[in-house]
Amino acid sequence: FVPQVIMDTEEIQQYLDVHFPKPDLRYTNRDAHTACLDVFSKFSFFIKNVSHTPDHLLKELSYLDSYLDRTGNKFMCGDELTNLDCNVLPKLQHIRVASKAFKDFEIPGSMTYLWGYLANAYKNDTFKKTCPSDQEIVHHWSEKKETTPLPESKQKLYMVESTPRFSLDIPAFVNGHYRK
């Protein structure tokens, strides 16, 4: 057996499904998959200044919020985490933290089902234990040459050497106004 590093998300999921089949995280819900398909690419366009406004990102976040509203689920495919959530939730955390740091953009509080989805993730021990700090997320995006430089006024706040901070709260007015 030769140890290897797996970097691709889908390969990691396949490895886990084969070697750790319980709990079963596979999913077959195409609607759930479609609802979150373009969110991260629109975020990438926004954070890298391909799109100069958050309009396309907002459209995809709204689509995801509407999907979560229609289903009434805690997570994308039901009330238990699946591989889809394991893929989408970290990306939403990157969207939340990096958009605020670099663009002063926040996920609108009016997207209560999306915030409810994030709140359910924040209650999950596995998500909390594996969630990178805000500083790590900002550092990751700072390393990409296409990303707008972090404003000088925020550089000290997001220094990797500072005490790790984790954005795991939700807007106060969203509390109690989402399903589950």
Q: Is residue 138 domain-resident?
A: yes
Q: Is residue 15 domain-resident?
A: no
pLDDT tens-digit series, residues 72-86: 999 999 999 999 999
Considering its fold, how many domains does the chain have in total?
A: 1
Q: Which residues have CB under 8 Å from 71's CB, separation 6+?
A: 32
Q: Is residue 18 domain-resident?
A: no
Range of the domain at 143: 30-174
Q: How far apart (Å, rounded) are the C-alpha atoms in residues 73 and 178?
A: 10
pTM: 0.87
Q: How far is CA 31 from CA 25, 38, 148, in A?
A: 17, 13, 34
Q: Is residue 152 domain-resident?
A: yes
Q: What are phi and psi of 28, to 5 degrees?
A: -130, 5
Task: For residue 144, give the CATH number of its domain.
Answer: 1.20.1050.10
pLDDT tens-digit series, residues 5-44: 777 777 777 777 777 767 777 788 899 999 999 999 999 9
